[in-house]
Amino acid sequence: MVRIGLMAQRISWTSRRGFVAGFSAVTLAGWMRPLAAAAQPPQSLTLVARLDAIALQGGQQELPVWSLQPSLPTLRFKRGQLVLSLQNALPVSCVLNWHGLDGAQAAEPLTAQAPLAPGAGATLSLPLRHAGTHFCDLGLLADGRGPMSRPLALVVEEDEPPKVDRDELFMIEDWRLGPDAGEKIAAPVYSVNGRMSPDITVRTHERLRLRFINGCQRAAVALKIEGHDARVMALDGEPAEPFLARNGAIVLAPGGRADAFVDATSAPGSARDILLHDGKEARAVARLVTASDPPVRPAPLPAPSPLPSNGLPAELDLRGALRVDLPLGGAEWVSPASFRTSAAPAFQAKAGRIVVLAVTNRAEKATTFHLHGHHFRLLDRLDDGWKPFWLDTLTVEPGQTQRIAFAAEHAGRFLIEGAGADWSAPRLVRWYGVS
């Protein structure tokens, strides 16, 4: 059984010194790639926000949802500029909420993008600076006001793709509707890519890149493929020093992402459950089914090299950092519908300054913290280093303070989100500025 908790407490990490040594070799190349990508012709995408329906099980009444069309399994793009056209076919105003797009000030919800009225449209220019697994949804304003908002994954591909046989999305969503699609029940129902208990078919010795996204309303989840190791390659869209998930379990906060390489090691004709634990019980949400065909190669592939850097700094000099205490909740935090940029910011930083936030949860239940605009390091307790990965989303346990640090690289006004672990807990926001 797996118990949900902070990732830093559940996985054995390598040392910061070892991470920096391996990371620094690709830092220069990481800085150069975004500059080269900027010269590429703009890419384009048209999305329509609309009322849709989903049937999770055969014969079950369809459930109303807010979705973004086209609802492709994954939107895939190269680094560079993305010109996005959004049409609102919903009966209420909406705004896109992005996870993972650092420095996309022009598309920042509420601070730059006002809610889009019914029937209206808008065109945005998004900088796709970093390769990785990202997503967007309509949940910021929809929160608790209507049907569920379904996330839409967006993948920015590496310039040099890693050696894998398959690259698959694994989007987890939770639902709390009864058989008549109108009665709320206590136990949630979980889907994978909009389906109940799907099979993922592989061949022996095949290597999969599974892009796990926790698209649940409020639930943190742990995922484990029985009988298989999961080598985590990226978290929240940013490359990490590869590591084997402790006990095979990957823990994700709501909105969190993890790219994991999984080598299919089971015998042909066998099946293994993919388990999800939400802190209350474990259940099978999918299966990894090994086809009866001969192995794809005689032996598994060797351990992979790290994914190429996106150019985030290998070192953060904390000595002159701007230090801010940031309690979650309180009068300064408001609902997205009540948000105004005229309100005082949580903090303001000069561009290029290192910022250290002490994020404190004084509530009785866990709270999810999501920082827009920048990825951050999770600092060690003694302020003598950091975990060897970048995050944009973090679960803070009751009564705890987590300290994070980031380089305020991108100018603009960006949101900070907080939401309790309960299904109906309100989403609250503030903003911070970089100039």
Residue 16 reports pLDDT greater than 60: no
Structure confidence at residue 324 (pLDDT): 98
Which CATH number is 322-434 given? 2.60.40.420
Angle at CA 210, nearest 5°, toward 40 and 46?
40
Q: What is the CA radius of gyration of the chain?
A: 21
Structure tokens given for 300: 């598994």
**What DSSP designation does 116 have?**
B
78 closest CA partner among 40, 45, 135, 48? 40
Per-residue pLDDT tens for 98-153? 999 999 999 999 999 999 999 999 999 999 999 999 999 999 997 766 788 999 99
Per-residue pLDDT tens for 139-185? 999 776 678 899 999 999 999 999 999 999 999 999 976 554 444 45
Neighbours of 24 (CB within 10 A): 12
Cβ contact 172:215 at 8 Å: yes
What are the extents of the domains in the chain? 322-434
| DSSP letters for 250-309 | EEE-TT-EEEEEEE--SPTT-EEEEEEE-SS-EEEEEEEEE-SSPPSSSSPPPPPPPPPP
CA dist., res. 62 & res. 65, Å (int): 9
Residue 278 reports pLDDT greater than 50: yes
Structure confidence at residue 198 (pLDDT): 95
Angle at CA 312, nearest 5°, toward 307 and 318?
130
- HSE, CB side, 13 Å, CA atoms: give it for residue 127: 16
